Amino acid sequence: LTRLYGPLTALSNVHVDVMSALVSFDRVFEILDLKPLISDKPDAEPLPEGARRIEFDDVHFRYPAAEEVSLASLESVARPENGRPKQVLNGVTFTAEPGELVALVGPSGAGKTTITALVSRLYDVTSGSVRVGGHDVRDVTLDSLRDAIGVVPQDAHMYHETIRANLEYARPGATDEEIAAALKAAQIWDLIESLPEGLDTVVGDRGYRLSGGEKQRLALARLLLKAPGIVVLDEATAHLDSESEAAVQRALKTALAGRTSLVIAHRLATIREADKILVVDDGRIAEQGRHEELLARGGLYAELYRTQFAHQSPAA
C-alpha cells in the first residue's frame, strides 16, 4: 500500500506547499505540463453521501506501461523487463456490504494492495467494473469518491506540525472537543494530555517522536474525524508491544464500527472478526468465507493460517 499511496502522499505534500502560495493542484500539473492519469469524466456527478457498498465485478487489471503514464516521472511505475506489464488481477468478483469488515489475505504479490487501490480509483480497471454505492467509480467525481473513503496506510505519515494541525487535515475547522473525542476513541488521549504542550505538541523527526503504535492510533483518530463511509486499511506488520497492540486493536474496533472496511489483514484478531475473508491468490479470489468455514475447508486459507497467523496470540 505504501508503494501505491507513497506517490500520492508526495503529491499531497506538494499540494500543501503550493496551497500556501495560492496555486491550485491543477496548476501544478499545468506548470509541469503533465496530465494526471485519472481524471473526472466531463459529466461526472458527485457520489451521493452515505455510499458504503463496494462491488467488484469481474475486474481485470494490469498496471499501465510507463509510456502510457504521463506522470511517469512522478509515479513509481514498475517497468517490465520486456513487453507489457503482466496482468495483476484476473477476474476479481466480490461484494462488501455496508458496514461489513472484509479482510484481504494472501501471499505477497497476490494483488491485495492493488484491489484496495482500485476502490479509491488510483487506476482504472482494464475490464470489468468497480462500484461504490452502486455507482461505477469512473462515473463519479474523484473528490467525492475520495471524500467517502478513509485510507489508513501501514505507516501513516504525520507532518512536522502540531498534533492539532495533523488532525485538522481530516476535518478542517474541527473543534478541540471534536479532536479530543476522536483521540479518546482512538485510545491516545491519555498520552497527548500528559504532554506539556498537549495538542500543540509538534510531532515528527524533529519534534516529539511517536512510536509506531502511537502513529497508528493518531491515524485512526484522523479517520474518526473524517468519518468516511468506507475504510481501506493496511494493518501494520511491525511488532508492537502487547499493551500498545491491545490499544490499537480497541481503537481499530471503534474506528471501523458502522463503516464498510477493506482491510489487508495481518492480525489474527482482525481475520477472526471479519464478516468475510477474501483469500487472494495470483490475482483471483481463491476462496472466500468466514474464518471457521475456511479453516474447515482445508485449502489455501488453512495453509496461510498455519504459516502466518496461527502463532499469534488470540489477543493480537
User: What residues line the site for ligand ATP (CB under 6 A)?
Assistant: 3, 63, 76-78, 85, 88, 106, 108-114
Helix (H, G, I), strand (E, B) or coil at 250: helix
Of 75 and 214, the one with the shorter C-beta distance to ligand ATP is 75
**How far is 168 from 225, CA to CA, in rounded Å?**
8
**How far is 2 from 4, CA to CA, in rounded Å?**
5
Residue 235 identity (one-letter amino acid): E
Of 88 and 316, the one with the shorter C-beta distance to ligand ATP is 88
Of 77 and 236, the one with the shorter C-beta distance to ligand ATP is 77
Of 104 and 240, the one with the shorter C-beta distance to ligand ATP is 104
Distance in Å, CB of 87 to ligand ATP, minimum = 9
With CA atoms as reference, report the closest residue to 36 among 57, 78, 4, 8.
8
**How far is 14 from 143, CA to CA, in rounded Å?**
17
Residue with grid cell 478542517, as numbered in its chain: 172
How would you class 29 by CB atoms within 10 Å of its CB: exposed for 0-12, middle for 13-18, buried for 19 or more? middle
Residues 116, 262 contacting (CB under 8 angstroms)? yes
Distance in Å, CB of 263 to ligand ATP, minimum = 12
With CA atoms as reference, report the closest residue to 10 among 79, 78, 75.
75
Kind of pairing, strands 101-105 and 276-281? parallel
Distance in Å, CB of 249 to ligand ATP, minimum = 21
With CA atoms as reference, report the closest residue to 59 among 137, 1, 150, 148.
137
Residue 6 corresponds to which cell in the numbers above? 507513497
Distance in Å, CB of 2 to ligand ATP, minimum = 9
Of 203 and 264, the one with the shorter C-beta distance to ligand ATP is 264
Distance in Å, CB of 291 to ligand ATP, minimum = 19
Of 179 and 294, the one with the shorter C-beta distance to ligand ATP is 294
With CA atoms as reference, report the closest residue to 92 among 127, 58, 63, 118.
58
Of 144 and 154, the one with the shorter C-beta distance to ligand ATP is 154
Residue 110 corresponds to which cell in the numbers above? 497476490
Distance in Å, CB of 72 to ligand ATP, minimum = 11
Distance in Å, CB of 110 to ligand ATP, minimum = 4
